Structure 1
Amino acid sequence: MDKFNSLKMFLAAHDHGSFGAAASALGTDPSTISKAITRLEESLEYQLFYRSTRKLQITEAGRTYLETVRRVLAELDTCENQLLSDNETPSGTLRLNLPVSYGRSNILPLLSAFCRQYPDIKLHVTFSDEYVDIIEQGIDISIRSGTVADSRLVMQKLSPMDFLIVASPEYLQENPISGAEQLAEHPWVRFKFKQTGKLMPMLLGSGDKVPPALEACSDYVVDDGKALVDLCAAGLGLMQAPHFVLRKALQQGRLVSLFPATEAEGFSVCMLYPKRRFLPAKVAVFIEFVKQSLSDMNETSGHTWARDIHPILKW
């Protein structure tokens, strides 16, 4: 900072013709200007001005230095003004990383409206269920489902993760289910995590333990959320999945919820972004836009639309 101020004083001394005039322009005193120029000269081992009682005359070395100093300070000023403008007006490229199922079902449908509202923001969107170091990858915002722990990041909870057991209307017409004790008697479509190869655990409400016979049900196994829904809707059997995977199929009547939703405690849908003192406007408006849009869908940090189908059962 001392070097930066010295450069400003050097430029002012040349442009105003004297230490006194430069001091008046910068709101300081002539001795401060003189000492700053002397420090620059000592560090460069070149004389920048010929000094006299009447005026300053720049040296040849000083003129060469002046051209660079003027350009650097001008570029810095332009950059600072641009940053200030960017932080006041949402603009620039916003890089998003979204989980596949949640991103497609809950975020992707919002992006066209967001772009119309903020036309100066350009989106770069990637979809991945694998861990991504968003700081290393230069990502502005990531949305994750599950658990996340990273002290470098700010985490905002978008919603709980509520799980529903569903089947197609056609399947239920041919295979009626009257209680949870019958679940193990039916074929199941199960989801397998690509990263670990493990099946998504079964969850029941009210702290009930999942019977081994039910946990062992895995007649059909897929590692894609859309395929999971499509196979179940085709009548292959029962399935359990997070609420956001099922919303559209339930609305369309392709699937029917059998029991109250089960909340997976310790798991949630979160928005993550790097900790920083000043949050860029493009990031701030996206966060608020998503939260408001989800709220309009009856999705908040403490509630999901799935709880309106049946009362919530705690896991």
Structure 2
Amino acid sequence: MDQLGAITMFVATAHHGSFTRAAAYLGKTTSALTRAVTHLEAELGTRLFERSTRRIALTEAGHIYLASARQVLTQLQQAREDIDQLQQEMCGTLRVVAPPSFAPAFLNAACCRFLEQYPMMRLEVDLTDELVDLVEGSYDLAVRDGPVELPDLIARPLTANRILICASPRYLQRNPLEVLPHTLDQHDWLIFRHPALNPHYWWFTHEGERQRISQPVPRLVSDNYDCLFAALLSGMGLQLCPQWSAVPYLRRGELVQLLPDIELDPDQFGAKIHVIYPEHRRHTRKHQAFIECLSNYLDEQALH
């Protein structure tokens, strides 16, 4: 039996949780998928699925085999695309995942530039704050802050993740009290809630000394950064903003940076934004082209 075909049918069966549904998806017969899985089980000397009249479920060995089988199929597909691209204009699909707040700040523009430069390419961009598994989700790369020391993944720094205290001129006119470390709790605050952020304290460094301050009671709190940023621009209060999101508004005078000599700790988000991709895709043209496009855009806009 064709080994690659059997692996493909096994992966499809595991994904759909049913021989029947997997057969319909692949355009095969149910008996063909059953034979393919039985062939793999005979070769491995162990069962990959527990079967009953109602359902099938992966065994422990099946879970182990599935992880490797997916990698094999992904690498072969990537090799086919790489060979095609050697012979013609770069084409195919690139699947990207990133936090929603990156989109209006820089990702939207970088994606549009990439599509303009490579008209045969297609992009699929998913925006989520969840720390997704690239292999499990079949993503080509992720743009993220936060944890980057992950097995079999390459993390390439893109830009700094410096945190600024910002307000709009409208808010500062409405509340003329000078913004100082000891007056922070007398101002209105817009606070981002996220599992990676300490909900009680902020850490900052001033003149080489690391200090802790209690978070003020927020006027507006949200787990959606865009919601908070819109309120910031409307003059609703002070906010901690990553520099990459605030720079264009600071240049136009729509925001003002406060306490610039204080260096705020980005918590678990880390000091840099990285682009992350599987190690076996290190030299893939479409990955490198997208990373170059993104990096160039960030450099041009000085979002670092």
How far the C-alpha of 1:134 sits from its partner, in A, is 0.7
How far the C-alpha of 1:106 sits from its partner, in A, is 1.1
TM-score by length of 2: 0.64
Compared CA separation, residues 229 and 200, structure 1 to 2 (3 A): farther
**Is it true that 1:285 corresponds to 2:289 in the alignment?**
yes
> Secondary structure of the equivalent of 1:205?
strand
**Is it true that 1:294 corresponds to 2:293 in the alignment?**
no
> Secondary structure of the equivalent of 1:171?
helix
In structure 1, C-alpha distance between the alignment counterparts of 2:79 and 2:153, rounded to whole Å: 25
Corresponding residue of 2:38: none
The answer on whether the counterparts of 1:87 and 1:280 sit within 8 Å (CA) in structure 2 is: no
Q: Rg: which structure is higher?
A: 1
The answer on whether the counterparts of 1:91 and 1:281 sit within 8 Å (CA) in structure 2 is: no
**Is it true that 1:243 corresponds to 2:247 in the alignment?**
no
Residue type matched to 1:199 in 2? P
Residue type matched to 2:211 in 1? K
Corresponding residue of 2:277: 273
State how 1:42-53 maps to structure 2 within 5 Å.
none
Residue correspondences, number: 219
How far the C-alpha of 1:278 sits from its partner, in A, is 5.8
Corresponding residue of 1:34: none
The answer on whether the counterparts of 1:161 and 1:263 sit within 8 Å (CA) in structure 2 is: no
How far the C-alpha of 1:154 sits from its partner, in A, is 0.4
In structure 1, C-alpha distance between the alignment counterparts of 2:183 and 2:151, rounded to whole Å: 45
Corresponding residue of 1:20: none
> Secondary structure of the equivalent of 2:184?
helix
How far the C-alpha of 1:82 sits from its partner, in A, is 6.1
> Secondary structure of the equivalent of 1:165?
strand
The answer on whether the counterparts of 1:163 and 1:203 sit within 8 Å (CA) in structure 2 is: no
Corresponding residue of 2:211: 209
In structure 2, C-alpha distance between the alignment counterparts of 1:121 and 1:203, rounded to whole Å: 43
Compared CA separation, residues 82 and 257, structure 1 to 2 (3 A): closer
How far the C-alpha of 1:185 sits from its partner, in A, is 1.6
Q: Identity over aligned residues, as a percent?
A: 27
Corresponding residue of 2:254: 254
Q: Deviations over 1:139-183 (max 9, x none)?
A: 111001123221210000111211111112122123231533221
Compared CA separation, residues 190 and 82, structure 1 to 2 (3 A): closer
Q: Which runs of 5+ in 2 are unaligned?
A: 1-77
Alignment RMSD, CA only?
A: 2.6
How far the C-alpha of 1:271 sits from its partner, in A, is 0.2
> Secondary structure of the equivalent of 1:106?
helix
In structure 1, C-alpha distance between the alignment counterparts of 2:154 and 2:169, rounded to whole Å: 42
Corresponding residue of 1:184: 185
The answer on whether the counterparts of 1:161 and 1:243 sit within 8 Å (CA) in structure 2 is: yes
How far the C-alpha of 1:233 sits from its partner, in A, is 2.4
How far the C-alpha of 1:285 sits from its partner, in A, is 0.8
Compared CA separation, residues 86 and 165, structure 1 to 2 (3 A): same
TM-score by length of 1: 0.62
In structure 1, C-alpha distance between the alignment counterparts of 2:211 and 2:166, rounded to whole Å: 19
Compared CA separation, residues 200 and 250, structure 1 to 2 (3 A): farther
